[in-house]
Structure 1
Amino acid sequence: MQISDTLENFVTKWRAYHNDPLPSMPFDPQWPSLCFDANDPQAGEILNWQPTKQTPVSDMFIRLGEALDTKIHPDIAEYFSCYWSDHLNARAPAGDLVLLQVWNEEDLERLRANFIGHAMVKAKQKQPLSLFFACTEPDDGMLTVRNDDGSIWLEYPGKKPVKQIADNLCDFINQLSPR
């Protein structure tokens, strides 16, 4: 199964869980997103939002790989190239987490900058490259995809990975439920 299919299954469950009502937030014209379904929204207007498929897919992960002089694992690239969305709350067997998402193109570029910073720290610590996709709650851990093999790890900033959580991102997402 591909990441896009796995994530689509989770988003379908997430939408059903949050359908009545959908989550909402004030509209900020400086931070627009296709997640809003509104014609001519006004600044500060409270609008419902939901994950929206990305089309066309950005080339950000190709550029990230060029900046880091490595090929980015396809699972992490596909994960962040599926939807425009605010972060999604989820529950795993081991506890609560937040699946990180990108809200718009500018947010995707911020993610790229954060990945480069994270990669520089990993290189300085002589650790394998990993790229984060979720945060654990309430302990502020990061769930990462190890770039060389696609395995999922629990990490804390500036420390060695703590433990392997899953063999791959599809297996991990398949065990989640929305919250």
Structure 2
Amino acid sequence: MIDDTARALADFTQNYCDRWLSQCGHPPASSELYGLASPCVQQTVDEEVRWLPQPFTLAKNLENVERALELRIQPSVVAWYTTQFAGDMQTLVDNQPCTLLQVWSEDDFERVQENLIGHLVMQRRLKQSPTLFIATTQSELDVISVCNLSGEVILEKLGTKNRKVLAATLEQFLVSLPVIDPLR
């Protein structure tokens, strides 16, 4: 499962980068990541950074999250956050824009783990089953997550039990995503 998720993520990322190159003549660009150190940075132009994915150089685990909550994390989520350093990527889910969250740097990996812990603590307090977010939507209350019990990818409304299954696995979810035009 880890290798399948890692391969699907690497394939999506390569297609994403290829689309940027063919449409814009350069790697993916982000103004949000401007000024933030990362091994992904290829070039800085006009207050935006152009990036390419880089190998993940830390231990490939989420042990800090697991230890903090005494919870075994779905292997697919471990693969999601430890396959590569990359910028966040835009796509569509059910024809709605969303942003696939990625780890930008070693420092960002620490921040992501802290945010996952906070998310899981909130769910525990609300007596909800654990999920781990992997993408954001245009609505601040809706996130795309992986159910830690089943491994399903879901659209969930934060603070509620409203959940919609999007895919049986993270690999299936990734394979189903369109690579959209960057100029869209």
Q: Provide the TM-score with structure 1 as the length reference.
A: 0.86
Structure 2 spans left out of the alignment, 5+ residues: none
> How far 1:140 sits from its partner (Å)?
5.0
Aligned partners of 1:83, 1:161: CA distance in 2, in Å? Answer: 31
* Kept in 2: contact 1:153–1:161 (CA 8 A): no
- Aligned pair in 2 of structure 1 residues 139, 63: CA closer, same or farther (>3 Å)? closer
Matched, 1:37 2:38: no
Structure 1 spans left out of the alignment, 5+ residues: none
* Kept in 1: contact 2:60–2:78 (CA 8 A): no
> How far 1:122 sits from its partner (Å)?
0.6
> How far 1:93 sits from its partner (Å)?
3.8
Of residues 14, 17, 22, the one that matches 1:15 is 17
Q: State the AA in 2 paired with 1:124.
A: R
- Aligned pair in 2 of structure 1 residues 170, 37: CA closer, same or farther (>3 Å)? same
| Residues 64-75 of structure 1: pairs in structure 2 closer than 5 A | 64-75=65-76
Which residue number corresponds to residue 177 of structure 2? 176
Which residue number corresponds to residue 150 of structure 1? 151
- Identity value in percent: 26
Q: State the AA in 1 paired with 2:42.
A: D
Equivalent residue pairs, number: 172
- Aligned pair in 2 of structure 1 residues 105, 93: CA closer, same or farther (>3 Å)? same
* Kept in 1: contact 2:66–2:72 (CA 8 A): yes
- Aligned pair in 2 of structure 1 residues 4, 159: CA closer, same or farther (>3 Å)? same
> How far 1:58 sits from its partner (Å)?
4.3
Higher helix proportion: 2
- Aligned pair in 2 of structure 1 residues 21, 123: CA closer, same or farther (>3 Å)? same
> How far 1:137 sits from its partner (Å)?
3.0
Q: State the AA in 2 paired with 1:36.
A: V
> How far 1:55 sits from its partner (Å)?
2.7
